[in-house]
């Protein structure tokens, strides 16, 4: 049995896809799983390193650039519009590539997690009458999945299906597929994780991540607050997942700004594939509001300070964050406030680091949104469609 899985552009697309691949191999060990990614994707090498992916193919795909809140002003941005026109041709070329690729592979089913590469792959699958299932983690479906929705066999979604505009009869709520490593950790396991990532089982750990590509705003704010935090909390380690292209800059800035003794308690990474270990070690997490990231920390019951990006199309991170904040499951720090004052990060951080029980309760509330076995449910749906 051949199964094609596709998605990309962010860790929020790739990590759930790999979780589904793991479950497919567990259920159907002799299946061949081929990942189709987008040429030029900075994270396309991650699936190639996964033991459950048997082959990797890359095709061209375009990107339609539009930004939440910008409205008609985007039409006056000539460089952006020029890129959109260029990428329209890349989509056409990608459809042609995907058609011949799928015709050669003849997979029984295709799983499309999201991202712009899903458009050429999905349209080619539709022409070849190969069944495919889409998945949306966010409350607002991505444009790529909306484009290919009419020909999808099923729409798997994270939230109750009434939230989505897909046909109810073709929509199934499964949650967000996660690696089996995302789960609550016992106190002894947490100590082991802290020993592994910080070298001290009794450390306090602040985990900072801006998503697979990093977030400059969050990186800069944490760097601005780091010395005060390390001074206030002698056992604190700051682990910063800065983004591949930002890692060197962040590390250099810490070396310039911090005393050498404090630098030993700063750990900077570009991108990691075992985020679950770092999450297990964390007392508090600073994160964006992508649905996959939130689901991962919900599974681990971690206290989160969320800085939702306001520019993504549809404002889906704003919606994700507000739904959880309304239920006292996360603390929101608006990006506008952080841009005006980097020190605005300190009060919510100090509140949670000073009050471990408050942080624990916040994490437990977020954990109530966790939906285990999502990856397995999706794998079973794919195998049913392939039969």
Together in a domain, 210 and 268: yes
What's the rounded mean pLDDT across residues 77-101? 79
Question: Sorting pLDDT into bands at 50, 70 and 90, what band is 80?
Answer: low
- Give domain status of residue 330, yes or no: yes
- Give domain status of residue 182, yes or no: no
Together in a domain, 381 and 360: no
CATH of the domain at 97: 3.40.50.2000
pLDDT at 77: 61
Place of tokens 């994707």: 41
Length of the chain: 387
Query: Considering only 169-178, 289-298, 307-316, which range has the smallest mean pLDDT?
Result: 307-316
Question: Sorting pLDDT into bands at 50, 70 and 90, what band is 8?
Answer: confident
- Give domain status of residue 58, yes or no: yes
Question: Sorting pLDDT into bands at 50, 70 and 90, what band is 334?
Answer: very high
Tokens describing residue 118:
């899903």
> Residues of the chain with pLDDT > 90: what percent?
73
Rounded Cα gap, residues 190 and 54, in angstroms: 33
Nearest Cα neighbor of 43 from 300, 332, 292 is: 292
Q: Who has greater pLDDT, 76 or 206?
A: 206
Q: How many CA atoms lie within 13 A of 96 on its CB side?
A: 6
Together in a domain, 61 and 145: yes
Together in a domain, 244 and 317: yes
SS3 279: helix
- Give domain status of residue 242, yes or no: yes
Query: Considering only 173-177, 189-193, 276-280, 314-318, which range has the smallest mean pLDDT?
Result: 314-318
Structural domains counted in the chain:
2
Average pLDDT score over the chain:
91
- Give domain status of residue 315, yes or no: yes
pLDDT at 115: 87
Question: Sorting pLDDT into bands at 50, 70 and 90, what band is 82?
Answer: low
Together in a domain, 226 and 145: no
- Give domain status of residue 313, yes or no: yes
* Residue 155 bridge partners (DSSP): 134, 171
pLDDT at 366: 95
Together in a domain, 221 and 141: no
Together in a domain, 6 and 144: yes
**pLDDT tens column, 342-358:** 999 999 999 999 999 99
Tokens describing residue 340:
């005006």
Question: Sorting pLDDT into bands at 50, 70 and 90, what band is 299?
Answer: very high
Together in a domain, 79 and 19: yes
What's the rounded mean pLDDT across residues 308-322? 79
- Give domain status of residue 233, yes or no: yes
Considering the entire predicted model, what is its pTM?
A: 0.81
Place of tokens 């919510």: 348
**pLDDT tens column, 22-65:** 999 999 999 999 999 998 887 788 899 999 999 999 999 876 55
pLDDT at 31: 97
SS3 32: strand
pLDDT at 87: 65
**pLDDT tens column, 131-156:** 999 999 987 888 899 999 999 999 99
- SS3 for 58-124 is EECCCCCCCCCCCHHHHHHCHHHHHHHHHHHHHHHHHHHHHHHHHHHHCCCEEEECCCCCHHHHHHH
Together in a domain, 146 and 253: no
Together in a domain, 122 and 210: no
* Residue 304 bridge partners (DSSP): 285
- Give domain status of residue 265, yes or no: yes
Domain around 283 = 187-367
Together in a domain, 132 and 260: no
Q: Which residues contact 187 (CB under 8 A, 6 or more apart)?
A: none
Together in a domain, 58 and 151: yes
């Amino acid at each position: 049995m051949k199964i094609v899985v596709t998605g990309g552009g962010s860790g929020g697309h790739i990590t759930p896809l790999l979780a589904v691949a793991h479950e497919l191999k567990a259920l159907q060990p002799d299946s061949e799983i081929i990942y189709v990614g987008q040429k030029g994707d900075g994270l396309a090498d991650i699936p190639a390193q996964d033991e459950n992916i048997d082959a990797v193919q890359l095709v061209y795909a375009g990107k339609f650039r539009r930004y939440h809140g910008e409205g008609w002003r985007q039409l006056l941005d000539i460089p952006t519009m020029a890129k959109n026109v260029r990428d329209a041709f890349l989509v056409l070329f990608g459809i042609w590539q995907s058609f011949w690729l799928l015709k050669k592979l003849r997979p029984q089913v295709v799983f499309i997690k999201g991202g712009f590469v899903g458009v050429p792959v999905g349209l080619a699958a539709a022409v070849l009458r190969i069944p495919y299932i889409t998945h949306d983690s966010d409350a607002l479906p991505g444009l790529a999945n909306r484009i290919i929705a009419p020909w999808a066999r099923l729409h798997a979604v994270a939230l109750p299906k009434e939230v989505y505009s897909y046909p109810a009869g073709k929509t199934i709520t499964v949650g967000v597929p996660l690696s089996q490593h995302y789960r609550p950790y016992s106190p002894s396991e947490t100590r082991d994780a802290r020993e592994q990532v910080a070298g001290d089982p009794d450390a306090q750990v602040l985990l900072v991540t801006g998503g697979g590509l990093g977030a400059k705003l969050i990186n800069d704010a944490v760097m601005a607050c780091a010395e005060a935090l390390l001074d206030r909390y002698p056992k604190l380690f700051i682990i910063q997942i800065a983004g591949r292209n930002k890692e060197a800059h962040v590390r250099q800035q810490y070396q310039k700004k911090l005393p050498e003794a404090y630098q030993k308690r700063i750990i900077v990474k570009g991108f990691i594939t075992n985020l679950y270990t770092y999450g297990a070690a964390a007392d508090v997490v600073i994160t964006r509001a992508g649905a996959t990231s939130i689901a991962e920390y919900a599974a681990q019951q971690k206290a989160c300070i969320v800085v939702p990006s306001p520019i993504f199309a549809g404002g889906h991170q704003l919606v994700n964050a507000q739904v959880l904040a309304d239920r006292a499951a996360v603390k929101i720090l608006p990006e506008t406030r952080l841009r005006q004052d980097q020190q605005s990060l300190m009060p919510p951080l100090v509140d949670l680091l000073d009050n471990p029980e408050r942080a624990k309760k916040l994490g437990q509330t977020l954990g109530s949104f966790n939906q285990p076995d999502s990856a397995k449910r999706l794998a079973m749906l794919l195998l049913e469609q392939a039969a």
